[in-house]
Amino acid sequence: MPAKTAAKPKKSASLAVEDVSRKPQQGRSKASLERMLAAARELMLERGNEDFTLQDVSQRGNVSIGSIYLRFESKDNLVRAVIADALDAISAEETTMLAALTPQCTSLGDFVPRYVESYAEVLRINAPLLRLSMQRAASDPLVSGPGKAHAMRAASQGTEAMMAFRDEIAGDDPERKALSSYHIIFATLARQLSLGSTGESVHDYDWRDLKRELGRMCLAYLRAA
């Protein structure tokens, strides 16, 4: 973690794989890059963000340690690349999910509960990697920056989707209400999935109930004068 190694001049705050890895690769090199990323991802999921050795990655991914350093400046950057990949994949899923859901809905009362449900599913499926991202972001600015970017992208997508039903939203600032709703939905789902915190089901409060009530709350709020 950066806290320990204050040594070398670090790269800029960017995080996409091509930013963190040394060179865009092709062919068999690309395959080996994939293998080391996959091995690292597995290990991170099994043991936690940093509780694995490059030796481990080397063995599991069938890649030499030298190869890893050929692609990544440091172990930290390898971890960041895994997280960057994951965040990208999740963003894509969110987009897909919204693209599929929106056209099916005809009213706010139709949309909101289904949105909560669908978003919860996307987050649930990606919870392990999301958890890693958020844990790491807590202590690594090079991850918290891009993580924030991903969060804002998600927020604007979600808000936009609700704004498709803007005439059903009461009050004079529907935009704000939509954005607030998004934040509250995300926060609630994230916490329930324990992103960023405890490993297991933290709360005994029933997951199914909460999703339903969360939808109701948002609807009540968006419709209320």
In whole angstroms, give the CA distance from residue 166 to residue 143: 34
In whole angstroms, give the CA distance from residue 55 to residue 64: 9
Per rule CB under 7 A, is residue 133 in the interface with DNA?
A: no
Q: Are 1 and 50 contacting, i.e. CB atoms less than 8 angstroms apart?
A: yes
Per rule CB under 8 A, is residue 13 in the interface with its own copies?
A: no
Query: Binding residue for its own copies (CB under 8 A) from 35, 48, 124, 127?
Result: 48
Please identify, using beta-carbon distances, which residue of 34 and 173 lies nearer to its own copies: 173
Please identify, using beta-carbon distances, which residue of 12 and 55 lies nearer to DNA: 55
Per rule CB under 8 A, is residue 187 in the interface with its own copies?
A: yes
Per rule CB under 7 A, is residue 53 in the interface with DNA?
A: yes
**Element holding 19 (H helix, E strand):** helix 17-20
Query: Binding residue for DNA (CB under 7 A) from 55, 104, 107, 198?
Result: 55
Q: In sequence order, what are the beta bridge partners of 21?
A: 72
Per rule CB under 7 A, is residue 198 in the interface with DNA?
A: no
Per rule CB under 8 A, is residue 196 in the interface with its own copies?
A: yes
* From the list DNA, its own copies, none, partner contacted by residue 14 (C-beta under 5 to 8 A by kind): none
Let me know how long the chain is.
225
Q: Are 185 and 218 contacting, i.e. CB atoms less than 8 angstroms apart?
A: yes
Please identify, using beta-carbon distances, which residue of 33 and 98 lies nearer to DNA: 33
Q: How far is the CB of 101 from its own copies (least distance, A)?
A: 22
Q: How far is the CB of 61 from DNA (least distance, A)?
A: 9
Pick the stretch among 23-31, 104-112, 161-169, 205-213 that binds its own copies (CB under 8 A). 205-213
Helix (H, G, I), strand (E, B) or coil at 193: coil
Per rule CB under 8 A, is residue 188 in the interface with its own copies?
A: yes
Q: Are 205 and 178 contacting, i.e. CB atoms less than 8 angstroms apart?
A: no
In whole angstroms, give the CA distance from residue 86 to residue 181: 25
Question: Which segments of 164-206 does DSSP mark as H helices, in order?
Answer: 174-192
Token couple for 136? 């790491």
Query: Binding residue for DNA (CB under 7 A) from 13, 23, 89, 206?
Result: 23
Q: How far is the CB of 70 from DNA (least distance, A)?
A: 5
Q: Which residues contact 126 (CB under 8 A, 6 or more apart)?
A: 86, 89, 90, 93
Q: Which residues bind DNA (CB under 7 A)?
A: 4-5, 8, 23, 25, 28-29, 32, 50, 52-55, 58, 63-67, 69-70, 74-76
